[in-house]
Structure 1
Amino acid sequence: MKKKVRKNNKLEEFIRKRKHVTSISLSVTLLAVFFFFITLNNVHTDTYDIKRFSTANETIRSPITIENEQETERKTRETVQSVPDRFNISSEITEERVNYVKEIFDAIATLESEEMSETEDEEANGDRIVPLSNQDKVNRLKQILSEQITESLDNQTLMQIIMTPKDEREIGRELLVENLETVLNNGVRTENIQSAISEINQSIKYASLNEELKQPLIELSEFAVVENSFFDVEQTQEARKEAASNVDPVMIRAGEVIVQEGQTITNEIYEELNLVGLLDGQRNFFPAIGLGLLIILISSTIAYELSILRKQNKLEKGKLISIISISILIISLLKIVSLFLTSGNQMFYIVPIATGAFLLKLLINERVAIIFSALFSIISGIIFNGEIPGSLNIDAVIYFFFSQLAAITFLTNVKDRTSILKAGIGVMVVNIITILLFVFLSFEKYDLIDLLIQSGFGIVSAFLSVVLTIGLLPFFETVLGVLSDMKLLQLSNPNQPLLKKLLTETPGTYHHSVMVANLSETACEAVGANGLLARVGAYYHDIGKTVRPQYFIENQMTKRNPHDFIDPKESAKIIISHPYDGANQLKKYKLPKEIIDIAEQHHGTSLLKFFYYKEKEKNENIDETSFRYPGPKPQTKEAAIICICDSVEAAVRSLNEPTEEKIEEIVAAIINDRMMDGQLDESPLTLKQLKIINRTICGTLKGIFHSRIQYPSKEAK
């Protein structure tokens, strides 16, 4: 029989697991499809059937940032071609040609000095003075000049220079040498020899010199000016390489206008459209594949988190629907606001994305809220990318993540809805700080009015988040039946109608429930269960005793026990009915299913021993099932712990002198009895956790029933 029961339990567990896996798979698939299609147009671009030299029907922008390699190559080629050739100027040739000119004038001066000296000697000796002819002077000059000069200059040129007065000749010399040095130092190449000579000749022509001297100076310039600048291959190549490396790539930026509406599609525009993929529909498959991979990663993360909730037995149908609904709501809000986003505004600041974080923390737990906040932020980066494939709006990602993280961080110590308002103030402050962060990092100048407007967006976002959270929370709590901490705190208020009824009609049971609540909450928190749920469940677990309060000993006060006058079977029937009477009342008042389950399960299928043995004294063949609660057995940690604490509190209260030893014995005996009777078989409690529960309950009871000083009475004195 026991083997059959275990087999049935395993089968039920397998079926339940399969149902959970199926529901998780369907939920994740639904979210994945929704995320994919709502973000598809942010990575998908329209393609156009455009002909060359046609007219554009609309303004077309680039969907991507890409280098125009052809234009970059053309620009580089033009830059390289514009680099002038590099030449080396020979200083030796410059010095040589200048020295030739100086040599001519120095030789003439030397010749005149020698002639003067000979004349003075002849006069001193009384000899007849015979002056040299100009031809003789030329001949003597040619004897002392370099061969290069004598071969290049004719006698007439030299004679004209010799015939020029000395002062005039010196002026001509300085003018010629100065211009010659300037021209040669600038470099003279084969192709510009004539222009260099012309430059010197122009200076001579307009100089205030003797007209007879100008012509020989011009002939000297033609003789002196030669090529002294030669092409340098290595320097030229180096200069061209440097120029090419300094050319910036020609980029087509994402969002850049390629063609305006009404503009003619030129060859250049057509090539740019082709380059960015606006003429090739096949390119759109690649962004879609990338988006699909991202959605797979996001969906895998969601599936993992849901599986953790399932293992913790915290993935009820209502919570699963809540997660799906919140995700769809938040992403839809992001998408709607993105439709109004332009390059000139930052409308995403106004999205009340903290709503999702508030709701997920209140309805599920903090871990799920953090994970989904990160996922929502990543998706927002795609939604607000300006429909530019391959780009993410990192500002939106950072802003939304910190806004949601602030909501999770500041939403603590939830007692009522004002705690959401307080957390909203924290979100508002973080929103403003994040917005200012972007402003100061951008290096752009903002007017005060711009700062106020953007900060106002952050304030509105926090305000809308609070309003939406407060407005949507009752929907999830009532319609979907999700039990939040806020709802539990409301149910724990002593002014609740059922608790008032329990206090006024069954004060003993009310006190008992409060004691069980204290024990259960402490024990649950020790093993990681929901202590608040256990406390509230304990408050209502014996509400069924209000149907027949006088049949329960804690409410009898000085009255006689009515069970002394009725059959044990009838007594057992009355006692056994109280969990189910309580469940019916809780359903009538529409309390959460978790509270109802605790009321039904807190006795499991345990045996009502007192009346069972009382009846057995009269009838040995009694059927035990008549004295057992019909169940079900506790299914959760909270229900199992309340089952233990309920019996422990009643047993300890019955002790005349509850010493520490007696308390430990009773707690251990009750936990062992529940284990041996199979009442904890269907709960997720482990043996290790039962030991912790034993230790925690004993510690709490010892604190309650600690020994006190016995004050002496007046008579004793």
Structure 2
Amino acid sequence: MAGKKFTNLFKRKGKTGNRAIILIGSLLLGCFFFIATASNVTTRNYDVQVYDTASETIRSPITIENEAETERQRQEAGQQIDDRYTVSAEITKAKTDAVDEIFTAIGQVNDSEKSTDKRVEDIKQLLSESIKEELTDQQIAQLVQIPTEERQVSEKVFKDAMTDFLEDGVKRDEVQQTQEEMRERIGYADVSSTTKEALRSLTSFAIVQNASFDAQATASQKAEARQNVASVMIRAGEVIVQEGQTITNDVYEELKLVGLLNSTRNVLPLIGLVLLITLLTGILTFETIHTTKKNAGTNKSVLLFVFLLICVSVILLKLISVIGSTETHHYLLLPTAVAAVLFRHLLSERFAICYAIVYSILAGVILNDEIPGSLNMEAALYFLFAQLAAVYAIRNVKDKGAMAKALLFLASVQIISVLLFVFFAFEKYTWDVIILYCGFAALSALLTVILVAGILPFAETGFGVLSETKLLMLSKPNHPLLKKILTDAPGTYHHSIMVANLSEAACEAIGANGLLARVGAYYHDLGKTRQPQLFIENQMGRKNPHDHLSPRQSAEIIIRHPYDGAKMLQDNHFPKEIVDMAKQHHGTSLLKFFYYKEKEYNKDVTEDTYRYPGPRPATKEIAVLSICDSVEAAVRSMKEPTQEKIRSLVDSIIKDKLMDGQLDCAPLTMQDLQEIKEAICQALTGIFHSRIEYPDEEKVKEVN
């Protein structure tokens, strides 16, 4: 029983059947999207061990910090910092002052007649106790032997060298080394060897430890060095190991860190993917329902074609992602805008734009080189710009000039998109690569235009879709049938133009297809061209032939014109929607004039004799055409149409059709009828607005 109800759901015509197909199709489409994109958001697990050879190039699926490597590098940075020492200025000053004191004392005891020992004793008397404790008699004796003429130079040489070494700092384990360095430096002085030996003997007194280990400064420098080491990051998409390389311990740890060795998959990305696909399919579902609601003629075969075309487009994306990486930019060759343009012509421009957005987001996911958590924004924006440009540009596929302009515009947009990302990229591209990518984009535009021009006519014919392009072609004044109406029935032509204007305005007011109503109005009275002189708008002041015909004969001629017109439209292979508008615009209404004329002498006459066979208007557009047809004819017969008269007339015509049941089959609400009334009145007010009455030439002359 349940299965039978389910089957009947698809057999239903109208909104319920289409909506069921749309919902089930959306569910299947969502499942297809999930299958196509699941590998792009989840990580792949590898069964490898240390020292194995990588069978393929493995990239990191995520961006994560390698904490162990970061800590190792920070330890190395800290170890490279030398210990910090504090140089004691007090020790440096004390030694400098002591040497000054020694050389001053030697200068004061300069009596050369005294013995060396006596002079040593005199000098010791002048020195402080601390110096005498550190300085031996032998060292003083050697200093006393320095010739008077070299004493000043030797003092300067010694003090300069000592100051340089002490200010640099002398560590405990560097005292002897520093003393030796100072002795070597003294050896370069321009003094006698005796003086050099005397100065060298004083080196052990002058050079002492004056630099002590500074634990706090050392720790601070090491901490700063550690902080200056940036965190070692493994970026999403970064190559961890190349194909054919050996998996070392470090590589194995990185694979483990990024989760490529974990057998338990993270379900959170899949949950996120389900939410994304739900949103995308929800957009498509809403727009499809909205489009089929607005275009009542949308059949199930069109919906099936849309479903299959979306699937094929996504499969092409997946193939491109599987064949090679996005670094080759082969996706630039895809004529992705074909589907969007076909949807614009088969369904609506709004649906095509929504599809373009959805498809571009899917492209960003699928073309991410299977790096979870990343989107290929370059590909997504390229596809979005290409599709929007194509939807805007490719309109009339049968106009070669328009298609050439569309190709030029589409190629320009796609090439600009390529250059945009090339110039934004940090990677430097060579000119031959840039030209290659632009060639890809131009070739993609050419393929798009060719495929649309080849597929769209067959799709429109095969699915019986009345596209905007086809309606625009039928609305051209140079169409043979419109020329026929103009030449054979000029009054009818003018009437049709006026009805078309009213119908389009009224349909747009209620959300119906205004362009369809306009084109249908152009051809709704085509049948009058069979006998144009029998219709009053074409008599142009001539005698009315109906004066010489019986009411029944006149009625037969007039009642036949909707069906003659429908037959002529069918013979010229017009869309069913236009044929129905010609056939149904009078519905089963009554020819009141001839009916009451016969009733004057034949009381037994029935209304059925003077009613159109029908059928009654079945769509919003035909119902609006029926109302506007009656309104235009009635207003044209008014001598002085005013706003009040026009509003009253429109209201009475709508009420009369309601009471006669002519609108029973049309999906119109009372609110729709009110909006139709307002739109018609507003349009007629603009047509029949009051004008200034200019005086004639004779009156002007009299005034002057």
**Normalised by the shorter chain, which TM-score bucket?**
0.7 to 0.9
DSSP-derived class of the 1:258 partner:
strand
Query: In 2 relative to 1, CA 341–621 (structure 1 residues): closer, same or farther, beyond 3 Å?
Result: farther
C-alpha contact (below 8 Å) 2:38/2:273 kept by paired residues:
yes
CA distance in 1, matches of 2:405, 2:378: 26
1:54 to 45, 52, 55: 52
Please report how far the alpha carbon of residue 706 of structure 1 lies from its aligned counterpart in structure 2 after TM superposition. Answer: 12
Q: 2:278 corresponds to which residue? A: 296
Please report how far the alpha carbon of residue 270 of structure 1 lies from its aligned counterpart in structure 2 after TM superposition. Answer: 0.5
CA distance in 1, matches of 2:449, 2:136: 107
Q: 1:695 corresponds to which residue? A: 681
DSSP-derived class of the 2:86 partner:
strand
CA distance in 1, matches of 2:472, 2:398: 6
Q: 1:3 corresponds to which residue? A: none
Query: In 2 relative to 1, CA 596–289 (structure 1 residues): closer, same or farther, beyond 3 Å?
Result: same
CA distance in 1, matches of 2:438, 2:165: 69
Q: 1:80 corresponds to which residue? A: 78
DSSP-derived class of the 1:230 partner:
strand
CA distance in 1, matches of 2:164, 2:37: 72
Indicate whether 1:70 and 2:56 are aligned.
no
CA distance in 2, matches of 1:621, 1:275: 99
Please report how far the alpha carbon of residue 75 of structure 1 lies from its aligned counterpart in structure 2 after TM superposition. Answer: 0.7
Query: In 2 relative to 1, CA 626–338 (structure 1 residues): closer, same or farther, beyond 3 Å?
Result: farther
C-alpha contact (below 8 Å) 1:637/1:683 kept by paired residues:
yes
Greater mean alpha carbon deviation, residues 477-486 or residues 416-425: 416-425
Instruction: Give CA deviations for 1:656-687 in whole Å, capped at 9, x if unaligned.
Output: 85755876654443223123334335333624
Indicate whether 1:224 and 2:198 are aligned.
no
DSSP-derived class of the 2:264 partner:
helix
C-alpha contact (below 8 Å) 1:63/1:388 kept by paired residues:
yes
1:684 to 660, 668, 671: 668
Structure 1: gaps of 5 or more residues: 1-13, 117-130, 713-717
1:367 to 327, 342, 350: 350
Q: 2:416 corresponds to which residue? A: 433
Query: In 2 relative to 1, CA 35–176 (structure 1 residues): closer, same or farther, beyond 3 Å?
Result: same
Q: 1:538 corresponds to which residue? A: 521
Q: 1:122 corresponds to which residue? A: none
CA distance in 2, matches of 1:25, 1:198: 95
Please report how far the alpha carbon of residue 637 of structure 1 lies from its aligned counterpart in structure 2 after TM superposition. Answer: 3.0
Query: In 2 relative to 1, CA 670–195 (structure 1 residues): closer, same or farther, beyond 3 Å?
Result: same
Q: 1:259 corresponds to which residue? A: 241
CA distance in 2, matches of 1:602, 1:211: 133
DSSP-derived class of the 2:109 partner:
helix
C-alpha contact (below 8 Å) 2:507/2:676 kept by paired residues:
no
Q: 1:715 corresponds to which residue? A: none
Q: 1:346 corresponds to which residue? A: 329
1:183 to 165, 186, 191: 165
Q: 2:441 corresponds to which residue? A: 458
DSSP-derived class of the 2:688 partner:
helix
Instruction: Give CA deviations for 1:314-357 in whole Å, capped at 9, x if unaligned.
Output: 57236544543553354344444445654654333333333344
| Pair member with larger Rg | 1
Q: 1:25 corresponds to which residue? A: 23
Q: 1:5 corresponds to which residue? A: none
C-alpha contact (below 8 Å) 2:337/2:448 kept by paired residues:
yes
Indicate whether 1:470 and 2:427 are aligned.
no
Q: 2:372 corresponds to which residue? A: 389
C-alpha contact (below 8 Å) 2:506/2:676 kept by paired residues:
no
Query: In 2 relative to 1, CA 313–162 (structure 1 residues): closer, same or farther, beyond 3 Å?
Result: same
Please report how far the alpha carbon of residue 598 of structure 1 lies from its aligned counterpart in structure 2 after TM superposition. Answer: 2.1
The code of the aligned residue for 2:584 comes to Q
Q: Please tell me the root mean square deviation across aligned C-alpha atoms, in Å.
A: 4.0
CA distance in 2, matches of 1:704, 1:471: 52
DSSP-derived class of the 1:429 partner:
helix
2:216 to 223, 228, 234: 234
The code of the aligned residue for 1:480 comes to F
2:156 to 174, 192, 209: 174
CA distance in 2, matches of 1:305, 1:136: 119
Q: 2:6 corresponds to which residue? A: none
In the alignment of these two chains, the number of paired residues is: 680
Instruction: Give CA deviations for 1:516-537 in whole Å, capped at 9, x if unaligned.
Output: 3344335445655433211221
Instruction: Give CA deviations for 1:621-677 in whole Å, capped at 9, x if unaligned.
Output: 877567655655434332112101222344456x48575587665444322312333
Please report how far the alpha carbon of residue 74 of structure 1 lies from its aligned counterpart in structure 2 after TM superposition. Answer: 0.8
C-alpha contact (below 8 Å) 2:64/2:234 kept by paired residues:
yes
Q: 1:103 corresponds to which residue? A: 101
Query: In 2 relative to 1, CA 521–297 (structure 1 residues): closer, same or farther, beyond 3 Å?
Result: closer
CA distance in 1, matches of 2:692, 2:216: 101
CA distance in 2, matches of 1:239, 1:72: 18
Please report how far the alpha carbon of residue 51 of structure 1 lies from its aligned counterpart in structure 2 after TM superposition. Answer: 1.4
Structure 2: gaps of 5 or more residues: 1-11, 699-704
Query: In 2 relative to 1, CA 554–144 (structure 1 residues): closer, same or farther, beyond 3 Å?
Result: closer
DSSP-derived class of the 1:220 partner:
helix
